[in-house]
């Protein structure tokens, strides 16, 4: 039996490179064709070089040829929601109905549609 998206995200969080914030974040995305990609936050001493777990997971999917996401799960100790930049990246590679779930170590989960979290996203349509 395959692991749940939450289990995959929690597993990814264990590989977090977060010596500065000490915040271990894991994300798992489910692509339209049913493949899961995982990512963890990767911090950098420059701070500006830091990348969130959600974007790592999405970029891994895209770099393997999967450009449309169906669900994403973000795991942190305290159940943090994705940041605005990650929501914008999700917009590029999903529809407004992308299911975004963020959960904490105690098992509390919040699930929202992407359009609820980023109400006025900038989309490729704006560039036409
Ligand atoms: Zn982020």
Which residues are known to be catalytic? 54
The confidence score (pLDDT) of residue 35 equals: 98
Mean pLDDT in order along the chain per 10 residues (128 residues): 88 98 98 97 97 98 98 98 97 96 97 97 90
What is the reported pLDDT for 2? Answer: 63
| Domain architecture of the chain: domains with CATH | 5-127 (3.40.140.10)
Q: Which residues surround ligand 1, an ion (CB under 5 A)?
A: 52, 83, 86
128 CA to centre of ligand 1 in angstroms: 27
**Which pLDDT belongs to residue 3?**
86
Q: How far is the CA of 88 from the centre of ligand 1 (A)?
A: 9
Q: Quote the ligand 1 centre to 53 CA distance (angstroms).
A: 7
Distances from the Cα of 28 to the Cαs of 2, 22, 120, 125, in angstroms?
Answer: 13, 20, 24, 27
**pLDDT on residue 16:** 98
Supply the pLDDT for residue 1.
Answer: 47
């Amino acid at each position: 039996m395959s692991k749940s998206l939450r289990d995959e995200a929690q597993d990814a969080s264990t590989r977090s490179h977060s010596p500065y914030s000490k915040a271990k974040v894991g994300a798992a995305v489910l692509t339209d064709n049913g493949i899961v990609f995982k990512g963890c936050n990767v911090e950098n001493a420059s701070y500006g070089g830091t990348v969130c777990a959600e974007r790592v997971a999405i970029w891994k999917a895209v770099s393997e040829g999967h450009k449309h996401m169906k669900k994403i799960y973000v795991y942190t100790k305290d159940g943090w929601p994705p940041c605005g930049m990650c929501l914008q990246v999700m917009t590029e590679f999903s529809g407004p109905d992308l299911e975004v779930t963020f959960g904490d170590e105690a098992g509390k989960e919040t699930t929202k549609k992407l359009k609820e979290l980023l109400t006025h996203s900038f989309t490729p349509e704006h560039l036409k």
